[in-house]
Amino acid sequence: MQDISSSLKSAGKTIGFIPTMGFLHEGHLSLVKRSKELCDATIVSIFVNPTQFSPSEDLTQYPRDIEKDNKLLLEQKVDYLFYPDADEIYPENFQTFVTVNHITKKLEGEFRPTHFKGVTTVVNILINCVMPDYAFLGQKDAQQAAVIKQMVNDLKIPVNIVVCPIVRETDGLAMSSRNVYLSKDERKDALALYKALRNANKMIDEGERRVSLIISEMMTIIEKLKSSKLKYIKIVESKSFETVEELKSSNEYYILIACKIGNTRLIDNELIKVE
Ligand code: AMP
Protein backbone atom coordinates (compact mmCIF):
# COMPACT_ATOMS: atom_id res chain seq x y z
CA MET A 1 0.00 0.00 0.00
CA GLN A 2 2.81 2.40 0.90
CA ASP A 3 4.57 1.70 -2.43
CA ILE A 4 1.35 2.43 -4.36
CA SER A 5 0.74 5.63 -2.39
CA SER A 6 4.36 6.75 -2.84
CA SER A 7 4.10 6.37 -6.60
CA LEU A 8 0.79 8.23 -6.70
CA LYS A 9 2.44 11.02 -4.73
CA SER A 10 5.52 11.15 -6.97
CA ALA A 11 3.16 11.47 -9.94
CA GLY A 12 1.82 14.59 -8.18
CA LYS A 13 -1.54 13.06 -7.26
CA THR A 14 -3.45 13.92 -4.10
CA ILE A 15 -4.83 10.93 -2.22
CA GLY A 16 -8.25 10.74 -0.54
CA PHE A 17 -8.84 7.93 1.95
CA ILE A 18 -12.03 6.41 3.35
CA PRO A 19 -11.52 3.93 6.21
CA THR A 20 -14.48 1.54 6.57
CA MET A 21 -15.46 -1.81 8.05
CA GLY A 22 -17.20 -2.80 4.80
CA PHE A 23 -20.78 -3.94 4.12
CA LEU A 24 -20.95 -0.69 2.24
CA HIS A 25 -24.03 1.49 1.83
CA GLU A 26 -24.85 4.94 0.46
CA GLY A 27 -23.37 6.54 3.61
CA HIS A 28 -19.95 5.10 2.81
CA LEU A 29 -20.38 5.92 -0.87
CA SER A 30 -21.11 9.59 -0.07
CA LEU A 31 -17.60 9.75 1.44
CA VAL A 32 -16.19 8.15 -1.70
CA LYS A 33 -17.99 10.72 -3.87
CA ARG A 34 -16.63 13.61 -1.78
CA SER A 35 -13.12 12.19 -2.05
CA LYS A 36 -13.44 11.89 -5.82
CA GLU A 37 -14.49 15.55 -5.99
CA LEU A 38 -11.54 16.73 -3.91
CA CYS A 39 -8.70 14.32 -4.69
CA ASP A 40 -6.94 12.80 -7.71
CA ALA A 41 -6.90 9.25 -6.33
CA THR A 42 -9.35 7.62 -3.92
CA ILE A 43 -8.44 4.68 -1.68
CA VAL A 44 -11.00 2.81 0.45
CA SER A 45 -9.99 0.40 3.19
CA ILE A 46 -12.17 -2.43 4.44
CA PHE A 47 -11.04 -3.80 7.78
CA VAL A 48 -13.27 -5.10 10.55
CA ASN A 49 -11.00 -3.96 13.34
CA PRO A 50 -10.94 -6.48 16.20
CA THR A 51 -9.43 -4.08 18.74
CA GLN A 52 -12.44 -1.75 18.71
CA PHE A 53 -14.88 -4.51 19.69
CA SER A 54 -15.18 -5.64 23.29
CA PRO A 55 -15.48 -9.41 23.93
CA SER A 56 -19.27 -9.01 24.38
CA GLU A 57 -19.75 -7.17 21.08
CA ASP A 58 -20.52 -8.38 17.55
CA LEU A 59 -17.05 -8.84 15.95
CA THR A 60 -17.74 -12.33 14.60
CA GLN A 61 -21.31 -11.55 13.49
CA TYR A 62 -20.42 -8.17 11.96
CA PRO A 63 -21.89 -8.26 8.43
CA ARG A 64 -19.43 -8.84 5.61
CA ASP A 65 -19.85 -9.01 1.81
CA ILE A 66 -16.55 -8.32 0.14
CA GLU A 67 -17.77 -9.29 -3.37
CA LYS A 68 -20.62 -6.79 -3.26
CA ASP A 69 -18.40 -4.11 -1.68
CA ASN A 70 -15.81 -4.64 -4.39
CA LYS A 71 -18.48 -4.27 -7.08
CA LEU A 72 -19.83 -1.06 -5.53
CA LEU A 73 -16.33 0.42 -5.33
CA LEU A 74 -15.61 -0.53 -8.95
CA GLU A 75 -18.86 1.18 -10.00
CA GLN A 76 -17.69 4.31 -8.15
CA LYS A 77 -14.33 4.04 -9.95
CA VAL A 78 -12.41 3.96 -6.69
CA ASP A 79 -8.70 3.67 -7.49
CA TYR A 80 -7.68 1.16 -4.80
CA LEU A 81 -9.33 -1.07 -2.23
CA PHE A 82 -7.02 -1.75 0.73
CA TYR A 83 -8.22 -4.99 2.30
CA PRO A 84 -5.64 -6.17 4.81
CA ASP A 85 -5.85 -9.27 7.03
CA ALA A 86 -6.00 -8.86 10.79
CA ASP A 87 -2.52 -10.37 11.17
CA GLU A 88 -1.06 -7.85 8.73
CA ILE A 89 -2.40 -4.97 10.81
CA TYR A 90 -1.69 -6.70 14.14
CA PRO A 91 1.21 -9.11 13.57
CA GLU A 92 2.51 -11.30 16.36
CA ASN A 93 4.31 -9.23 18.98
CA PHE A 94 2.28 -6.11 18.15
CA GLN A 95 2.44 -3.89 21.25
CA THR A 96 1.76 -0.24 20.41
CA PHE A 97 -1.59 1.51 20.94
CA VAL A 98 -2.74 5.10 20.56
CA THR A 99 -4.97 6.55 23.26
CA VAL A 100 -6.69 9.90 23.23
CA ASN A 101 -7.63 11.05 26.73
CA HIS A 102 -10.64 12.95 28.03
CA ILE A 103 -12.92 13.16 24.96
CA THR A 104 -12.85 9.34 24.71
CA LYS A 105 -14.08 8.88 28.28
CA LYS A 106 -17.65 10.11 27.81
CA LEU A 107 -20.69 9.12 25.74
CA GLU A 108 -19.63 6.13 23.62
CA GLY A 109 -16.49 5.79 25.75
CA GLU A 110 -18.51 5.42 28.93
CA PHE A 111 -20.38 2.44 27.50
CA ARG A 112 -17.54 1.06 25.40
CA PRO A 113 -14.39 1.82 27.44
CA THR A 114 -11.88 0.15 25.09
CA HIS A 115 -13.55 1.15 21.82
CA PHE A 116 -11.78 4.41 20.94
CA LYS A 117 -8.32 3.03 21.75
CA GLY A 118 -8.95 0.43 19.03
CA VAL A 119 -10.27 3.05 16.62
CA THR A 120 -7.40 5.51 17.03
CA THR A 121 -4.80 2.75 16.83
CA VAL A 122 -6.19 1.29 13.63
CA VAL A 123 -6.84 4.65 11.98
CA ASN A 124 -3.28 5.70 12.76
CA ILE A 125 -1.93 2.46 11.25
CA LEU A 126 -4.18 2.74 8.18
CA ILE A 127 -3.15 6.37 7.64
CA ASN A 128 0.50 5.31 7.86
CA CYS A 129 -0.15 2.67 5.20
CA VAL A 130 -2.20 4.83 2.82
CA MET A 131 -0.43 8.17 3.47
CA PRO A 132 -3.45 10.20 2.32
CA ASP A 133 -3.72 13.96 1.94
CA TYR A 134 -7.38 13.81 3.01
CA ALA A 135 -9.34 11.32 5.12
CA PHE A 136 -13.14 11.34 4.86
CA LEU A 137 -15.24 10.46 7.90
CA GLY A 138 -19.00 10.46 8.50
CA GLN A 139 -20.84 12.69 10.95
CA LYS A 140 -22.83 9.53 11.74
CA ASP A 141 -19.98 8.72 14.16
CA ALA A 142 -19.58 12.30 15.37
CA GLN A 143 -17.62 11.52 18.53
CA GLN A 144 -15.33 9.19 16.58
CA ALA A 145 -14.62 11.99 14.08
CA ALA A 146 -13.85 14.39 16.97
CA VAL A 147 -11.52 11.82 18.58
CA ILE A 148 -9.68 11.25 15.29
CA LYS A 149 -9.34 15.01 14.73
CA GLN A 150 -7.87 15.29 18.25
CA MET A 151 -5.36 12.51 17.51
CA VAL A 152 -4.37 14.04 14.16
CA ASN A 153 -3.82 17.45 15.80
CA ASP A 154 -1.99 16.12 18.85
CA LEU A 155 0.30 13.77 16.91
CA LYS A 156 0.70 16.23 14.02
CA ILE A 157 -0.31 13.61 11.47
CA PRO A 158 -0.11 15.25 8.04
CA VAL A 159 -3.67 14.59 6.86
CA ASN A 160 -6.75 16.79 6.47
CA ILE A 161 -9.89 15.38 8.06
CA VAL A 162 -13.16 16.03 6.21
CA VAL A 163 -16.41 15.20 8.02
CA CYS A 164 -19.38 14.52 5.70
CA PRO A 165 -23.12 14.69 6.52
CA ILE A 166 -25.22 11.71 7.66
CA VAL A 167 -26.92 9.82 4.82
CA ARG A 168 -30.39 8.56 5.76
CA GLU A 169 -32.93 6.13 4.37
CA THR A 170 -35.95 7.89 2.79
CA ASP A 171 -37.89 7.65 6.07
CA GLY A 172 -35.00 9.16 8.05
CA LEU A 173 -33.23 6.16 9.63
CA ALA A 174 -29.48 6.80 9.53
CA MET A 175 -27.82 4.27 7.24
CA SER A 176 -25.64 1.78 9.07
CA SER A 177 -24.17 -1.62 8.29
CA ARG A 178 -25.79 -2.82 11.52
CA ASN A 179 -29.34 -1.99 10.27
CA VAL A 180 -29.30 -5.41 8.61
CA TYR A 181 -29.66 -6.96 12.08
CA LEU A 182 -33.10 -5.33 12.58
CA SER A 183 -36.27 -7.42 12.20
CA LYS A 184 -39.20 -5.88 10.33
CA ASP A 185 -40.81 -4.57 13.53
CA GLU A 186 -37.49 -3.38 14.95
CA ARG A 187 -36.80 -1.53 11.69
CA LYS A 188 -40.04 0.43 12.27
CA ASP A 189 -39.12 1.10 15.92
CA ALA A 190 -35.61 2.22 14.96
CA LEU A 191 -37.15 5.28 13.36
CA ALA A 192 -37.80 6.60 16.88
CA LEU A 193 -34.17 7.78 17.09
CA TYR A 194 -34.71 10.09 14.12
CA LYS A 195 -38.14 11.15 15.38
CA ALA A 196 -36.66 12.10 18.76
CA LEU A 197 -33.91 14.12 17.07
CA ARG A 198 -36.46 15.89 14.84
CA ASN A 199 -38.61 16.66 17.86
CA ALA A 200 -35.62 18.17 19.67
CA ASN A 201 -34.79 20.20 16.61
CA LYS A 202 -38.34 21.54 16.45
CA MET A 203 -38.32 22.49 20.15
CA ILE A 204 -35.05 24.35 19.66
CA ASP A 205 -36.42 26.11 16.56
CA GLU A 206 -39.40 27.20 18.63
CA GLY A 207 -37.07 28.76 21.20
CA GLU A 208 -36.55 26.06 23.87
CA ARG A 209 -33.08 26.38 25.38
CA ARG A 210 -33.33 24.11 28.45
CA VAL A 211 -31.48 20.89 27.70
CA SER A 212 -33.23 18.83 30.40
CA LEU A 213 -36.64 19.54 28.85
CA ILE A 214 -35.47 18.79 25.33
CA ILE A 215 -33.94 15.49 26.48
CA SER A 216 -36.97 14.44 28.51
CA GLU A 217 -39.23 14.85 25.44
CA MET A 218 -36.78 12.74 23.44
CA MET A 219 -36.77 10.08 26.15
CA THR A 220 -40.55 9.89 26.08
CA ILE A 221 -40.49 9.13 22.35
CA ILE A 222 -37.83 6.42 22.73
CA GLU A 223 -38.99 4.78 25.92
CA LYS A 224 -42.55 4.32 24.57
CA LEU A 225 -41.20 1.43 22.54
CA LYS A 226 -41.01 -2.05 24.05
CA SER A 227 -37.98 -2.95 21.92
CA SER A 228 -35.86 0.04 23.00
CA LYS A 229 -33.13 0.20 25.63
CA LEU A 230 -31.87 3.75 25.77
CA LYS A 231 -28.13 4.11 26.48
CA TYR A 232 -27.82 7.88 26.44
CA ILE A 233 -29.16 11.11 25.03
CA LYS A 234 -26.80 14.05 25.42
CA ILE A 235 -26.43 17.55 24.08
CA VAL A 236 -22.80 18.59 23.82
CA GLU A 237 -20.85 21.56 22.55
CA SER A 238 -19.83 20.55 19.02
CA LYS A 239 -16.05 20.94 19.33
CA SER A 240 -15.25 19.98 22.93
CA PHE A 241 -18.04 17.42 23.34
CA GLU A 242 -18.66 18.89 26.80
CA THR A 243 -22.28 18.51 27.97
CA VAL A 244 -24.30 21.69 28.49
CA GLU A 245 -27.42 22.53 30.49
CA GLU A 246 -28.60 25.45 28.44
CA LEU A 247 -28.22 26.27 24.75
CA LYS A 248 -26.65 29.61 23.96
CA SER A 249 -26.99 31.80 20.86
CA SER A 250 -24.35 31.57 18.12
CA ASN A 251 -23.18 28.17 19.34
CA GLU A 252 -23.13 24.74 17.71
CA TYR A 253 -24.15 21.56 19.48
CA TYR A 254 -24.54 17.88 18.78
CA ILE A 255 -27.62 16.09 20.02
CA LEU A 256 -26.38 12.52 20.38
CA ILE A 257 -28.35 9.37 20.98
CA ALA A 258 -27.39 5.74 21.52
CA CYS A 259 -30.10 3.16 21.90
CA LYS A 260 -30.53 -0.56 21.57
CA ILE A 261 -33.47 -1.68 19.46
CA GLY A 262 -33.84 -5.36 20.31
CA ASN A 263 -30.24 -6.56 20.33
CA THR A 264 -28.98 -3.97 17.86
CA ARG A 265 -27.11 -0.97 19.19
CA LEU A 266 -27.80 2.11 17.07
CA ILE A 267 -26.39 5.63 17.26
CA ASP A 268 -27.57 8.82 15.60
CA ASN A 269 -27.07 12.55 16.02
CA GLU A 270 -27.90 15.97 14.71
CA LEU A 271 -25.74 19.07 14.52
CA ILE A 272 -27.64 22.10 15.80
CA LYS A 273 -26.76 25.72 15.11
CA VAL A 274 -28.48 27.99 17.61
CA GLU A 275 -29.12 31.43 16.05
P1 AMP B 1 -18.01 1.98 9.35
O2 AMP B 1 -17.87 1.08 8.17
O3 AMP B 1 -19.30 1.84 10.07
O4 AMP B 1 -16.80 1.94 10.26
O5 AMP B 1 -18.05 3.47 8.78
C6 AMP B 1 -17.00 3.96 7.96
C7 AMP B 1 -17.20 5.44 7.77
O8 AMP B 1 -18.46 5.69 7.13
C9 AMP B 1 -17.22 6.22 9.09
O10 AMP B 1 -16.50 7.43 8.93
C11 AMP B 1 -18.69 6.46 9.30
O12 AMP B 1 -18.97 7.61 10.08
C13 AMP B 1 -19.17 6.65 7.87
N14 AMP B 1 -20.63 6.40 7.80
C15 AMP B 1 -21.29 5.31 8.27
N16 AMP B 1 -22.62 5.47 8.10
C17 AMP B 1 -22.80 6.69 7.53
C18 AMP B 1 -23.95 7.43 7.12
N19 AMP B 1 -25.19 6.96 7.27
N20 AMP B 1 -23.76 8.65 6.57
C21 AMP B 1 -22.49 9.16 6.44
N22 AMP B 1 -21.38 8.50 6.79
C23 AMP B 1 -21.51 7.29 7.34
Classify domain 2-164 at the CATH class level: alpha beta
Residues in contact with ligand 1 by the CB-under-6-Å rule are: 20-21, 27-28, 30-31, 137-138, 140-141, 164, 166-167, 174-177
Q: Whose CA is nearest to atom 22 of ligand 1?
A: 138
* Three-class DSSP category at 15: strand
Look at residue 130 in the predicted model and tell me its pLDDT.
99
Span from the CA of 161 to the centroid of ligand 1 (angstroms): 14
User: By C-alpha distance, which of 98, 4, 9, 107 is closest to 49?
Assistant: 98
Which CATH number, 3.30.460.10, 3.80.10.10, 3.90.1170.50, 3.30.1300.10, labels domain 177-273?
Answer: 3.30.1300.10
The band of 161, judged by pLDDT with boundaries at 50, 70 and 90, is very high
Q: How far is the CA of 206 from the centre of ligand 1 (A)?
A: 31
Q: Where are the domains of the chain?
A: 2-164, 177-273
Query: Does 25 participate in catalysis according to the annotation?
Result: no
The pLDDT confidence band at residue 11, using thresholds 50, 70 and 90, is very high
Domains 2-164 and 177-273 share a fold: no
Residue 209, φ and ψ in degrees, nearest 5: -125, -5
pLDDT in tens, 211-231: 999 999 999 999 999 999 999
Cβ pair 148, 119 in contact under 8 A: yes
Please tell me the distance between residue 179's alpha carbon and the centre of ligand 1 in angstroms: 12
Average pLDDT (176-202) is: 98
Within 10 angstroms of residue 23's Cβ, the number of other Cβ atoms is 20
What rounded mean pLDDT belongs to the chain?
98
pLDDT, mean of residues 154-161: 98
